[in-house]
Amino acid sequence: MLQINDVTYRIGGRLILDQATVAVSRGHRVGLVGANGTGKTTLLRLIAGELPLDGGSITVPQRWRIGMVAQEAPGGEQSLLDTVLAADTERSALLVEAETATDPDRIAEIHTRLADIEAHTAPARAAAILSGLGFDEAAQARPCRELSGGMRMRVALASTLFTRPDLLLLDEPTNHLDLEASLWLEGFLKSYPETILLVSHDRDLLNRVVDTTIHLERGKLVSYAGGYDQFERTRRMKMEHLAALQAKQLAQRRHMQAFIDRFRYKASKARQAQSRLKALERMEPIVSVIEDRTVTFDFPDPEPLSPPLIALEGVKAGYGDKVVLSGLNQRIDMDDRIALLGANGNGKSTLVKLLAGRLPPLSGTIRRSSKLKVGYFAQHQTEELNPRLDALTQAKEWMPLATEEKVRAHLGRFGFVQERAETLIGNLSGGEKARLLFALMTRDAPHILMLDEPTNHLDIDSREALVQAINAYQGAVVLITHDPHLIELTADRLWLVADGTVKAFDGDIEDYRRLLAEQRRSERAERNAAKAADRVETVNRRDQRRAAAESRAALAPLRKQAKDAEARIAKLEKEKAALEQQLADPALYEGPADKVTRLQIALHETETAIAAAEEAWLEAQTRLEEAAEAG
């Protein structure tokens, strides 16, 4: 169990953690949430031992290995696959020693340990992780130095996942991923058998992966059962309950004070008045619930234009002699909300640059309304901001004809009011810089917004504000994002960018998840078929049939074990949901304390049973898959 006890930590005199206490049981998948700047990343670094505590203690079981993505992206001549394999330092050291060891006992120990850590499956596991994160077989053989910074961070993530640490610390792991890789990571983390502490602003990832949510607010840590949506519901109910108790207590205090003021000096009532005065002094006030200021976005509405805003006819797009996309015959109207699907490298950003007028077509025709204004957002544009200027001065440079009053009013639409507008850009958080870019790109009330990964560095509340702003906006939107929640709530059309062209995708995000899963199954089947074809030349059909029959008989107990474990997991999950529903009821905490304790104990026992059943299922499934790989 990870135990955080009365931890205090300051940065430059500012209190980040104030005697924070929480515990995380082994095998739990925990989401760590809170507004930007509250100290989530700092807490991960404290757990990893990268920062010294100012007070309190963090205890990790002695045998636990902690894994955290390196802040420096890997580079050099080593291939992606070799870089990931090298992350398992024990395996690498044993393999080197095995080449030089001469003592028979030591050689036996080395090979026993290599077998224990399943060293023989390491290349396949590393390749599978890299493939899931978007690197095909050819890319895995390339040297790291050829990759961009974002793609190198994917390799760093793959290295951490490959080492299978007992405590996996992840800080915004989807920031450098496309939607396809994000969906793969979600599946990987859902089946991860060890403990996870995940910092993320991706609501879908938190809802689908974690079973516990820890909220960091005002230096304190509070644990809630369930994913992000359940945390929000429970916290809202808790706040409403506290507000009601506070109102009740204030009314009681007023009543008692009125009695004291009226009868304090009346002899016949003096004793009662003194009694109430002492009771009033002993009464602990209920702390007021103070909500953080909500971030707002407000895109200015454009003047209406006749359709289409943009029409493509037989367009090819690319760079020089390299054609990236061809056969483009799309159109965009004022009321369109379009999300682009497709893996990184398929041409989504190329299409957005083409539509935004930042990339000329190689051939074909693009028709645009003569009065069309386009707002273009991309994360790399933060480099265009001057860190030595404040937000107001930067906006004035972009809006030279506007009065200061008008500039301030426009910045206010995006949360830059009063002193925040006069804060140096270099001192703004990543989320604040993103909001400043939104303000600058919409200064002319564009008719269409081109948004390339707009949610990077935005916290969950800011993402919800962005959803509301997009839905209220009167122009068109073209969106690239790894956040499926944003797509589900804003897009009404999906375009699939794949195989060198763009086509409408008939379905929703869930359909796209299923399509990706089917493609991965098909790819695995093709790889297995290719391996089987290589073996056909040396094994006759009769031997194959006999081997298959023996294999089915040998695997039957494993299939039964997996099926029984699945049934038990389903049953236990229902019991867990019922217990969590009872614990989320504020009325429960007004009753006997022992009932709460019994329910919490029952929930913990149920979660332990689920973990055991999942481990049994995973063991059976892994052995079945290994048997299938072996043929």
Rounded CA-CA distance 429/432 in Å is 5
Residue 304 lies in a domain: no
Residue 274 lies in a domain: yes
Share of the chain above pLDDT 90, in %: 36
Nearest of 220, 159, 223 to residue 1 by alpha carbon: 223
- 280-294, 365-379, 430-444: lowest mean pLDDT where? 280-294
Tokens of 234: 């429970």
Please indicate, yes or no, whether residues 212 and 276 belong to a single structural domain of this protein: no
Residues 78-93, mean pLDDT to the nearest whole number: 89
Q: What is the pLDDT, as a whole number, of residue 629?
A: 65
Q: pLDDT (tens digit, 9 = 90+) per residue, 386-408?
A: 889 999 999 999 999 999 999 99
- 121-135, 170-184, 207-221, 605-619: lowest mean pLDDT where? 605-619
Please indicate, yes or no, whether residues 147 and 237 belong to a single structural domain of this protein: no
Rounded CA-CA distance 433/419 in Å is 15
Residue 43 has pLDDT above 90, yes or no: yes
Q: Which residue, 232, 253, 268, sits at the end of a domain? A: 232
Residue 549 lies in a domain: yes
Please indicate, yes or no, whether residues 238 and 218 belong to a single structural domain of this protein: no
CATH number, residue 626: 1.10.287
Q: What is the pLDDT, as a whole number, of residue 311?
A: 95
DSSP H helices in 478-540: 484-490, 509-536
Residue 431 lies in a domain: yes
Cis peptide leading into residue 308 (ω within 30°):
yes
Output the average pLDDT for the chain.
84
Please indicate, yes or no, whether residues 175 and 99 belong to a single structural domain of this protein: yes
DSSP code per residue over 414-483: TT--GGGGGSBGGGS-HHHHHHHHHHHHTTT--SEEEEESTTTT--HHHHHHHHHHHHH-SSEEEEE-S-
Please indicate, yes or no, whether residues 213 and 248 belong to a single structural domain of this protein: no
Read off the pLDDT band of 267 (50, 70, 90).
Answer: low
Residue 377 lies in a domain: yes
Q: What is the pLDDT, as a whole number, of residue 291?
A: 46
Please indicate, yes or no, whether residues 266 and 210 belong to a single structural domain of this protein: no
Q: How many CB atoms lie within 10 A of CB 171?
A: 18
CATH number, residue 331: 3.40.50.300
Share of the chain above pLDDT 70, in %: 87
* Residue 530 or 213, more confident: 213
- 22-31, 293-302, 328-337, 397-406: lowest mean pLDDT where? 293-302
Please indicate, yes or no, whether residues 86 and 130 belong to a single structural domain of this protein: yes
Residue 266 lies in a domain: yes
- 364-378, 380-394, 560-574, 591-605: lowest mean pLDDT where? 591-605
Paired residues of 213 in beta bridges: 31, 224
Q: pLDDT (tens digit, 9 = 90+) per residue, 479-532?
A: 999 888 899 999 999 999 999 999 999 988 889 888 888 887 777 777 667 666
Please indicate, yes or no, whether residues 413 and 452 belong to a single structural domain of this protein: yes
Residue 241 has pLDDT above 70, yes or no: no
Q: Which residue, 193, 211, 232, sits at the end of a domain? A: 232
Residue 447 has pLDDT above 80, yes or no: yes
Residues 197-221, mean pLDDT to the nearest whole number: 91
b/e map 479-516, b = 16+ CB within 10 Å: bbbbbbbbbebbbeebbbbeeebbeebeeebeebbeeb
Query: Dihedral through CA 600, CA 605, CA 610, CA 615, nearest 10?
Result: 130
Number of domains forming the structure of the chain: 4
Please indicate, yes or no, whether residues 54 and 161 belong to a single structural domain of this protein: yes
Angle at 400 between CA 394 and CA 401, to 5 degrees: 145
Residues 266-274, mean pLDDT to the nearest whole number: 63
Q: Which domain holds residue 559?
A: 539-630
Please indicate, yes or no, whether residues 492 and 426 belong to a single structural domain of this protein: yes
pTM tops 0.85: no
Q: pLDDT (tens digit, 9 = 90+) per residue, 455-488?
A: 887 888 888 889 999 999 999 999 999 888 899 9
Read off the pLDDT band of 548 (50, 70, 90).
Answer: low
Rounded CA-CA distance 470/491 in Å is 9
Paired residues of 484 in beta bridges: none
Q: By three-state DSSP, how is residue 170 classified? A: strand
Rounded CA-CA distance 631/629 in Å is 5
Q: Are the C-beta atoms of 68 and 169 separated by less than 8 Å?
A: yes
Read off the pLDDT band of 279 (50, 70, 90).
Answer: low
Q: 586 to each of 40, 236, 577, 595, 597, how far by Cα in Å?
A: 27, 10, 16, 13, 14
Read off the pLDDT band of 108 (50, 70, 90).
Answer: confident
Q: Are the C-beta atoms of 151 and 81 separated by less than 8 Å?
A: no
Q: Which residue, 506, 529, 560, sits at the end of a domain? A: 506
E runs forming strands in 149-301: 167-171, 195-199, 212-217, 220-225
Q: What is the pLDDT, as a whole number, of residue 359?
A: 92
Q: What is the pLDDT, as a whole number, of residue 566?
A: 85
Q: Are the C-beta atoms of 254 and 72 separated by less than 8 Å?
A: no
Q: What is the pLDDT, as a whole number, of residue 289?
A: 43
Please indicate, yes or no, whether residues 78 and 177 belong to a single structural domain of this protein: yes
SS3 content of the chain, % helix, strand, coil (to 5): 55, 20, 30
Residues sharing a CB contact under 8 Å with residue 530, sequence separation 6 or more, in sequence order: none
Residues sharing a CB contact under 8 Å with residue 277, sequence separation 6 or more, in sequence order: 260, 264
Q: pLDDT (tens digit, 9 = 90+) per residue, 285-325?
A: 644 444 454 567 889 999 999 989 999 999 999 998 899 99
Residue 258 lies in a domain: yes
Residue 298 lies in a domain: no
Residue 445 has pLDDT above 50, yes or no: yes
Read off the pLDDT band of 144 (50, 70, 90).
Answer: confident
Please indicate, yes or no, whether residues 330 and 259 belong to a single structural domain of this protein: no
